[in-house]
Amino acid sequence: MSSATLSHLVLDGNSDMPLIARVYEVESAEELRDEEPADETATIVAVVQAGPRALADGAASPPAESRQSREPAPRPEPGPAAEPLEEGSLPFIGQVLAYAPGESLTIRRRLHLDEDLYLADHAFVHAPGVKPVSACMPVLPLTMSLEVMAEAAACLAPGLGLIGFEDVKATRWIEVSDRDSEVLNITAQVQEVDADGQVWRIAVAIQLEGQEMPSTTATVLFSSAYRVDLDLAFGNFSNPYRLPLTGEDIYRERHMFHGPCFHCLTGEIIIADEGAVTDLVTRLPTELFRSIDQPQLLIDPALFDGIGQFIGVWAMQHDRYVLPIGFDKLELYRSTPPAGTRAPIRIEIVRDEAMTMYANVEIQDGSGGVWLRVQEWGSIKFRNQPQVLDFRRQPTRHLLSRPLDLPSLAQGALCCLITKADTQGFDSLLLARHYLHLDEMADFTAKAGVPPRQQQWQLGRVAAKDAVRAWLAARSEAPDMLHPAAFAIDREAAGQPLVAALEGHPRLPRISIAHCEDRAVAIACEQPVGIDIEQIRPRDAGFLASFSTAGERELLDDLAAEGTVRDEWITRLWSAKEAAGKLLGTGLDGAPQRFEAIAIDGGGNFIIQVQGSDRLIGVHSVRDGNFIIAYAAAETAGVSGR
């Protein structure tokens, strides 16, 4: 590479690189076995202490009470206690299971929601105050995995400094879901020592306890001086424009799911065909861990996460949404700038494929020098429906389902319909975590053995909760709707669904839910209500005879004589009976002829008489594509008969 190409990489003043890798040497893990732990399942406990600390940012620590202000979320069940960290330590060096100095190291580190506070700011489900963090799918960021791997590798390279990473691959998420903690097993092994270049390459893998394959792997590079090996050519941008949103707006409007400790995009954003530029701001690492406010971090994992975020901003302008999957190489050219530094970042998309995209990245140090470069940061791409994106961003302001304006619907009643296609890009478990109350998750899980049944049940819950939320919002002056996971849908003894008691809402609607094939519909109303949905399909004479009376078949003959499609009217009749049975809270109870249509008009309106009583139920039916929706919300005759 030519010196002209890299002439702006001024490394003067960085020769005294932080010695962040020294540890107290021991012959082997066996020497640390002074006492066997009482718990037979415990492993060798040893403290690996860091030597000279990394260069400090120079900012003072916040008062202790500010760190303690982030109380842990309530836990669904007791779990292992969090392990407090030592002030000034490498925060991810946990229990040492095996250690051969200069050769290999195995560490066990328990991630814990009470200690690893940053996990609450990297949760895929946005339900603050509604669900505990453990139920919101908190995920270890890829860049925090880089910190984990760098610390493990540092223990094998005493007296050297971190200069970068190679071949980073993330093959699966590391979640701390539905429990308070998760155990990581981190293995590091010296792969190569380049004596001439004074570069140590150390292979590191992070593996969840109980899994057979690693979740994240990388080669971590250490040396006695920074190196410039990458020669990334950044070209000119075409068609640049200023994004209407600033970095601060991105977080305020939740275009990124990240919480405060990962908020590093700042100022205006310029988007072009080939890439984008903006600023990142470095932050104090004082809110990442509960028991330590000055951890000795080898990188800035919160700011590094901003690389993936910024690539995500570019992708969103092209109707794509991305998650990082790794990168080829990252080179560091100087230590982390002090907290509060505005570090310009430039990304350039070098490959944009069907399912993946890759970008080169350069971040400056805020003083005109280059801090780091990344070659081919990879991301997997997704395409989501607009309503999915809006709901995930702001679940209390958007519905996932589609409100239906049904004719002759009772005043104040609200109906919502959703199809499987409406949830495209929404994994079923992730959708459940967004919509279901903790008390409903067991029912969802119990249906996993029959996926179509589970899907229909879930869609029905989505439609019902959206109808309830919209119904309550229409009677409230609050700017936001209720979060769908803030309440549960229960069942009466006869099987009729109902909204479970909800604090602060003494007035709740009556509801009815129906599903068919890949869709579900639900209605919320002040009074008892029934709804049904059925697909129009060919029906033989035997099917019609199984649920209809002779009088009903005569009514259908009259309608068919007028040129009406017979299959559609058979479906309307069946659906009308189902809606009437749901209105009464009994269902058809195995006797559909007990609910007899005594009048039908050409608009799809029925009068259903309950045999053995004088009860008359008005039912309306509409066609929606190839489906019939029938609904009843009153015990009264409202149509003319034939």
CA 639/CA 167 separation, integer angstroms: 72
Domains of the chain plus CATH, in order, are: 29-219 (3.10.129.10), 241-385 (3.10.129.120), 386-504 (3.90.470), 528-642 (3.90.470.20)
Annotation marks residue 305 as catalytic: yes
**Res. 461: pLDDT tops 70:** yes
More confident residue, 284 or 89: 284
Summarised one tens digit per residue, pLDDT across range 471-497 is 999 998 888 999 999 999 999 877 899
Tell me the Cα Rg of the chain.
31
Annotation marks residue 122 as catalytic: yes
Q: What share of the chain is helix, strand, coil (3-state, %, to 5)?
A: 25, 30, 45
pLDDT score recorded for residue 571: 95
Least confident of 26-35, 207-216, 396-405: 26-35
Residue 387: burial class (beta carbons within 10 Å; 0-12, 13-18, 19+): middle
pLDDT score recorded for residue 18: 46
Q: Return the number of other C-beta atoms located less than 10 Å from residue 169's C-beta.
A: 15
CA 106/CA 189 separation, integer angstroms: 9
CA 315/CA 309 separation, integer angstroms: 10
**Res. 637: pLDDT tops 90:** no
Least confident of 189-198, 282-291, 389-398: 189-198
336 φ, ψ (degrees, to nearest 5)? -60, 130
Q: Which two tokens stand for residue 58?
A: 């120079």
CA distances from 454 to 124, 246, 457 (A): 22, 41, 5
pLDDT score recorded for residue 539: 83
Classify each residue of 390-412 as buried b or exposed e, where b means 16 or more C-beta atoms within 10 Å of its C-beta.
bbbeebbebbbbbebebebbbee
Please report where in the chains the tokens 């093959």 appear, as a residue. 171
pLDDT score recorded for residue 384: 85
pLDDT score recorded for residue 561: 65
Residue 28: burial class (beta carbons within 10 Å; 0-12, 13-18, 19+): exposed
Return the C-alpha torsion angle 341, 344, 350, 356, nearest 10.
50
Please answer whether residues 597 and 489 qualify as being in contact, where contact means their C-beta atoms are separated by less than 8 angstroms.
no
pTM of the entire predicted model = 0.84
Give the residue from 361, 280, 275 showing the smallest Cα distance to 318: 275
Summarised one tens digit per residue, pLDDT across range 567-590 is 999 999 999 999 999 999 888 888
Percent of the chain with pLDDT over 70: 86
More confident residue, 22 or 459: 459
User: Sorting pLDDT into bands at 50, 70 and 90, what band is 635?
Assistant: low
Summarised one tens digit per residue, pLDDT across range 324-375 is 999 999 999 999 999 999 999 999 999 999 999 999 999 999 999 999 999 9
pLDDT score recorded for residue 60: 28
CA distances from 317 to 248, 310, 311 (A): 17, 11, 10
Please give the mean pLDDT across all residues of the chain: 86
Q: Which distant-in-sequence residues (6+ apart) come within 8 Å of 194 by Cβ?
A: 200, 201
pLDDT score recorded for residue 186: 98
Summarised one tens digit per residue, pLDDT across range 75-122 is 344 567 887 887 778 999 999 999 999 999 999 999 999 999 999 999
Give the residue from 323, 195, 329, 348 showing the smallest Cα distance to 258: 323
Q: Render 182-215 in DSSP notation, one character per residue.
A: EEEEEEEEEEEEETTTTEEEEEEEEEETT-SS-S
**Res. 65: pLDDT tops 60:** no
pLDDT score recorded for residue 566: 87
Residue of 57, 116, 121, 122 with catalytic role: 122
List strand residue ranges (DSSP E) for 40-117, in order: 95-100, 104-112
The SS3 call for residue 579 is helix
Please answer whether residues 283 and 339 qualify as being in contact, where contact means their C-beta atoms are separated by less than 8 angstroms.
yes
Q: Which two tokens stand for residue 464?
A: 């019902």
Please answer whether residues 464 and 422 qualify as being in contact, where contact means their C-beta atoms are separated by less than 8 angstroms.
no
Give the residue from 435, 525, 446, 515 showing the smallest Cα distance to 483: 435
CA 229/CA 214 separation, integer angstroms: 28
Please report where in the chains the tokens 């991105």 appear, as a residue. 250
**Res. 277: pLDDT tops 90:** yes
Rounded to the nearest 5 degrees, what angle is found at the Cα of 355, between the Cα atoms of 249 and 425? Answer: 60
The SS3 call for residue 374 is strand
CA distances from 496 to 453, 489, 491, 617 (A): 18, 10, 5, 18
Residue of 114, 180, 293, 305 with catalytic role: 305
Give the residue from 371, 408, 440 showing the smallest Cα distance to 634: 408
User: Sorting pLDDT into bands at 50, 70 and 90, what band is 611?
Assistant: confident
Q: Which two tokens stand for residue 267?
A: 């100022």
Q: Which distant-in-sequence residues (6+ apart) come within 8 Å of 34 by Cβ?
A: none
Q: What is the mean pLDDT of residues 248-258?
A: 97
Please answer whether residues 290 and 82 qualify as being in contact, where contact means their C-beta atoms are separated by less than 8 angstroms.
yes
pLDDT score recorded for residue 574: 96
Give the residue from 159, 83, 140, 153 showing the smallest Cα distance to 115: 83
Percent of the chain with pLDDT over 90: 73
